[in-house]
Chains A and B, each alone.
Chain A
Amino acid sequence: MRIDYKLEDKFDLGLFLSFLILFCIGLAAIYSATYNNHAAAGNFNRQLYWGLASLLVFFIVYYLPTTTFSMISVPSYLISILFLIAVLVIGRRIMGHKSWFGFGSFGFQPSEFAKLGTILGLAWYLSKKKVDIETFKDIIITLGIGLLPVGLIFLEPDMGTTFVYLGLILVMLFWKGISLFGLFIVLSPAIVALSSLFGTVYFVIALFLVIVGLFLFRKDLFFSGAILALNLGAGFFTEFVFNALGPHQQKRILTFIDPNSDPLGSGYNAIQAKVAIGSGGLFGKGFLSGNQTQLQFIPEQWTDFIFCVIGEEFGFIGSIIVLILFFYMFLRIIKIASSTKDEFISLTLIGILSVYFFHLAINVGMVIGLIPIIGIPLPFISYGGSSLLVNIFMLGIVANVYRTRKNYT
């Protein structure tokens, strides 16, 4: 029997410290972003309280028996679905999204919590012994588990979160060991569906590419025909869903496809975000001294555009420190995930990694002008209680697995 005396053996200090530093940078940025904003003056304090609560959550999750997570996987998935349906029916509208529950003055966002439910649900199914990811049936069931919450969130509509879910499903399938052809089956309908929104020409081009792909894989004719039919169906179904949406929701989707269709809205923000970051320079303009931030060129900078505050006031040094901390965190998670032989645990960790990763990639990508503006928070940094609690819960799972990793190798 081995006895561990070293803290590092049981507790991933690097991971925890990365979180702590990121959270503190976030607090400073929230303070600065709300400094001259009268309406949001209480956000700093609220985030501080959420931070303290999240530390508690972290250590509770850290000390749970690791088997807990597989035990709660199915119930948490089902509860997530239930909440997502409920929020569509009775949810409170905030800025055109129907994604909040109101409990007095507290808002609670089920789509945040459903991320964890979906990860656990997918990990549960994929790690079952009799599941063979090479069979068409299991791919379809996996997609079904993953796409059910996506569909519900899409109706809210929350574009950013939808992309995170799609990425999450893809990465978990990949980690489980899906073949290249399987990947093609999964990806092609999504690409066709998306391109159908851009217009008929794009739809036809996408279909043509699918046919080329099918030809290259050289599967039997019947199977290829079925895949093609699936793709066609995806395209027309998207058209159908789009027409069923309200004009407000349609406008949001169109704005997403072409930001210039609303130059005073998200297009304007994209320009101002880039100016804020670029003008920060190497060392930044100093805490509370960024004129882009303090004059509030960008609305609600303490949530989705918080990276601009860091870029403008703390400069390249500040931004790169944030990226390095995230990078370090991600590498740790991949390492822990690949060191365990327990499929459920490994898949869960990779699911968590992909949630973090897509949040970061979309958020930072949009403010530095690499992708269109999609509203999505930056993990651990953006203001918001639901998002922070879920992210810290997931980090707790990672730390927990590190603690008990020797039992699983």
Chain B
Amino acid sequence: MRPEGFASIPRKTIVYFIVVACFGLFAFRLVQMQIIDHQAFDEKSASNSIKPLEQVPLRGVFYDRNMEVITGNSPAYTMRITPAEYDKSLSRLLETVIDVDSGFIDKVLYNNRFYSKYLPIRIKRGIDFKAVSWLEENSEHLHGVDFIVEMQRDYPAGIIGSHLFGYEKEISPASLEKEKNYYSPGDYVGNSGIEKTYEKELRGEKGFNYVLVDAKRKETGKFKDGKMDKPSLKGRDLVLSIDADVQRVAEEELKKFRGAAVAIEPKTGEILALVSTPEFDLNQFSYVTTKEYLTGLYTDPDKPLFNRATMSGKPAGSTFKIMAAIAALDMGVINENTIITCGGGFYFGRFFKCHGGPHGPLNVVHAIEKSCNTFFYNLIYRIGLDKWSEYAHRLGFGHKTGIDISEDAPGLVPNSKYYEKIYGPNWPRSIMASLGIGQGEVSATPLQLAQFVALVANNGNSYTPHLVKGYLKENTKEFIPYKFNEIRTGIGQRAFDIVKQGMILVVQGAGTATRLKGDELKIAGKTGTAQNPHGKDHALFICFAPYDDPKIAIAVVVENVGFGATYAAPIAQKMVEAYLLKNKLKKEGLQKNKGSNNQLFGARQ
């Protein structure tokens, strides 16, 4: 009975037999399971479904730099439907209960038909309490319908912050496709401002509770005793660099205008306030946004949705003279003793007029004080266009600032290539004269101006401007700072010392903003007027204070009102007061109850 040797017929037959037998057995078993016993298995499968209950985490809140909550959460009810369990004949009734147009529910379900029918779909957010109690009472008859408590944003500190905080919006089909790993239809995601940039930190981690349901879709218990449940993780609480008081004052002062104000702490690049007006009501977004409200926002000629503080580029006007002075001093084409005589204007191809009559012989300090156009018409020709442009770039103009919200416009600083493209190699050199006083093609955003004056105040060094300083660690509530890039302009100290002398004279001497004169705040600044071919000029003011140890740097732009000192400068002054005088009060308060100081203040540097 010995089989023959290598690959013999009997051996081949045995191998065949084993393969055939195995497949035969499998096929028989499949017939048994899938055809004969199918009914029993099917019942088991139906009686043994798990339903995942999504646990939406609490979104992180925003603290201001003094640990005051400026964006929080409050509860709201959302009605949901799980399509696999839902009977569409209920739609008419439900539509009247939650007060929506007829056909609304079926439309929402139809729009979400591509997603798993076992996952609940949000039908309407913010349903009122009467509807909630009706749903609760009739839950027995409403298969596949439930409601959950979700948190919505509220703003307890009285700060509007519409462009700063930004808003959440129901996720778009396109971004849902991209990130279906995390989001499900109907989820809200940050759509602008900080809510958008820090979405991943703020949202936390969804949790799931798994419950077993029987064939009648009744819950029969926890799946695997809750061993598979995943609790939700709360989102990170962010600590903003915003100072609630400064922000409030700026919002209040700018309310009557179209414009923007940005305040920065020069040493750190931390943004203390960022306001763009007109604002809009974020509460309208955190609830159910009505169509009328949205249409109103879109069609408003003042464009309230537009973030003027970071997006609107305008000629920097006379504030740009500071930039030209720094460039000239650093290059050495002038020094503090160089005199240029103002005879009331400047001639280059045509006559460029100075304002306020001939200023006579001036050095750079007094040229800044008087904002003498003649001096700066001359200066840009000594600097040269490309050098001028290079210095502007080093001081933060002509490119995005890198602020931690996505609304960030680059502005424009032209150079010779720019004009060659438009006019050819023989572009009219007379164009440069206007650039010298910050008019013409040059454009800068209020944020860029604020960053610029912060760089001046801190002698050419700072950090990328940012709104969020860091976050609080989940369990210990310890403050963890985010890291930001350092900015080093590489410009010598001397240039800053000299222009600052000019800037202090603007306010404290015989300059253009002497109404802010005062020893308590020691403001140094520069007024500006951006020419506007479409209407009244825009008023500009940049400043920092106190002069000898700058703690706040501010840029204010008010559109279509005229001269800078009249409208923009007083707003800046109010902001400086809110910041510097409050700090003084706080210090006194802290000294009184020493020791009760909590660790948050200690950790924040």
A residues sitting closer than 8 Å to B (CB atoms) are 35-36, 38-39, 41, 171, 174-177, 179-180, 264, 268, 274-282, 288, 291-292, 294-295, 297, 311, 315-316, 319-320, 323, 326-327, 330-331, 334, 337-338, 343, 346, 350, 353, 357, 361, 364-365, 368-370
Distance in Å: Cβ of A217 to nearest Cβ of chain B: 11
Beyond A175-B7, A323-B27, 20 additional contacts (C-beta under 8 Å) are A35-B116, A38-B182, A174-B14, A177-B8, A179-B3, A264-B227, A277-B33, A277-B41, A278-B44, A291-B49, A291-B118, A294-B116, A295-B52, A297-B50, A311-B34, A320-B30, A327-B19, A331-B19, A361-B22, A368-B29
Write out the residue numbers on chain A whose beta carbons fall within 8 Å of the beta carbon of B25: 370
Write out the residue numbers on chain A whose beta carbons fall within 8 Å of the beta carbon of B23: 323, 326-327
Interface of A is mostly: helix
Contacting pair A177 B5 (CB below 8 A): yes
Write out the residue numbers on chain B whose beta carbons fall within 8 Å of the beta carbon of A369: 29
Contacting pair B26 A274 (CB below 8 A): no
State which of A36, A180, A353, A357 has its C-beta within 8 Å of the C-beta of B2.
Answer: A180
Contacting pair B34 A278 (CB below 8 A): yes
Write out the residue numbers on chain A whose beta carbons fall within 8 Å of the beta carbon of B14: 174
Distance in Å: Cβ of A360 to nearest Cβ of chain B: 8
Chain A CB within 8 A of B1 CB: yes
Contacting pair B34 A315 (CB below 8 A): yes
Write out the residue numbers on chain A whose beta carbons fall within 8 Å of the beta carbon of B4: 177
Chain A CB within 8 A of B174 CB: no
Q: How far is the CA of A278 from the CA of B336 in the complex (A)?
A: 92
Contacting pair B38 A278 (CB below 8 A): yes
With both beta carbons as reference points, the residue of chain A lying nearest to B31 in the complex is identified as: A316
B residues sitting closer than 8 Å to A (CB atoms) are 1-8, 11-12, 14-16, 19, 22-23, 25-27, 29-31, 33-35, 37-38, 40-42, 44-46, 48-50, 52, 116, 118-119, 180-182, 224, 227
State which of B26, B37, B118, B224 has its C-beta within 8 Å of the C-beta of A323.
Answer: B26
A-B contact pairs, 21 of them (CB 8 A): A41-B181, A175-B6, A177-B3, A177-B8, A179-B3, A275-B44, A278-B42, A279-B44, A280-B38, A294-B118, A319-B34, A320-B27, A323-B30, A330-B19, A334-B12, A334-B15, A334-B19, A343-B7, A353-B15, A369-B29, A370-B26
Contacting pair A316 B7 (CB below 8 A): no
State which of A39, A175, A276 has its C-beta within 8 Å of the C-beta of B11.
Answer: A175
Task: Across the A-B interface, give the 6 residue pairs with the lowest CB-CB distance, nearest first.
Answer: A278-B41, A279-B45, A177-B5, A316-B34, A38-B181, A278-B33
Contacting pair B45 A275 (CB below 8 A): yes
Q: How far is the CA of A273 from the CA of B143 in the complex (A)?
A: 28
With both beta carbons as reference points, the residue of chain A lying nearest to B115 in the complex is identified as: A36
Distance in Å: Cβ of B201 to nearest Cβ of chain A: 19
Contacting pair B29 A370 (CB below 8 A): yes
Q: How far is the CA of A364 from the CA of B27 in the complex (A)?
A: 11
Write out the residue numbers on chain A whose beta carbons fall within 8 Å of the beta carbon of B46: 279, 291
Write out the residue numbers on chain A whose beta carbons fall within 8 Å of the beta carbon of B1: 180
Contacting pair B2 A171 (CB below 8 A): no
Q: How far is the CA of A338 from the CA of B44 in the complex (A)?
A: 47
State which of B8, B42, B52, B181 has its C-beta within 8 Å of the C-beta of A281.
Answer: B42
Asked if A264 meets B224 with Cβ closer than 8 Å, knowing A294-B118, A334-B19, A361-B22, the reply is yes
Distance in Å: Cβ of A334 to nearest Cβ of chain B: 6
Contacting pair B48 A275 (CB below 8 A): yes
Contacting pair A175 B45 (CB below 8 A): no
Write out the residue numbers on chain A whose beta carbons fall within 8 Å of the beta carbon of B41: 274-275, 277-279
Q: How far is the CA of A156 from the CA of B340 in the complex (A)?
A: 85
With both beta carbons as reference points, the residue of chain B lying nearest to A312 in the complex is identified as: B45
Q: How far is the CA of A264 from the CA of B228 in the complex (A)?
A: 11
Asked if A279 meets B42 with Cβ closer than 8 Å, knowing A295-B50, A327-B19, the reply is yes
Tell which of B3, B22, B46, B181 has the most Cβ of chain A within 10 Å: B22
Contacting pair B35 A281 (CB below 8 A): yes
Q: How far is the CA of A248 from the CA of B12 in the complex (A)?
A: 42
Distance in Å: Cβ of A59 to nearest Cβ of chain B: 27
Q: How far is the CA of A301 from the CA of B240 in the complex (A)?
A: 44
Distance in Å: Cβ of A205 to nearest Cβ of chain B: 26
Distance in Å: Cβ of A389 to nearest Cβ of chain B: 25
Asked if A368 meets B33 with Cβ closer than 8 Å, knowing A177-B11, A276-B45, A323-B26, the reply is yes
Write out the residue numbers on chain B whose beta carbons fall within 8 Å of the beta carbon of A281: 34-35, 38, 42
Write out the residue numbers on chain A whose beta carbons fall within 8 Å of the beta carbon of B2: 179-180
Contacting pair B37 A278 (CB below 8 A): yes
Contacting pair A343 B33 (CB below 8 A): no
Tell which of B30, B42, B44 has the most Cβ of chain A within 10 Å: B30
State which of A280, A294, A338 has its C-beta within 8 Å of the C-beta of B12.
Answer: A338
Contacting pair B48 A36 (CB below 8 A): no
Q: How far is the CA of A204 from the CA of B3 in the complex (A)?
A: 31
Distance in Å: Cβ of B8 to nearest Cβ of chain A: 7
Write out the residue numbers on chain A whose beta carbons fall within 8 Å of the beta carbon of B3: 177, 179-180
Contacting pair A295 B118 (CB below 8 A): yes
State which of A176, A288, A364 has its C-beta within 8 Å of the C-beta of B26.
Answer: A364
Write out the residue numbers on chain B whose beta carbons fall within 8 Å of the beta carbon of A368: 26, 29-30, 33
Q: How far is the CA of A395 from the CA of B48 in the complex (A)?
A: 41
Q: How far is the CA of A281 from the CA of B43 in the complex (A)?
A: 12
Distance in Å: Cβ of A171 to nearest Cβ of chain B: 7
Q: How far is the CA of A174 from the CA of B15 in the complex (A)?
A: 9
Contacting pair A278 B118 (CB below 8 A): no
Distance in Å: Cβ of B18 to nearest Cβ of chain A: 8
Contacting pair B19 A295 (CB below 8 A): no
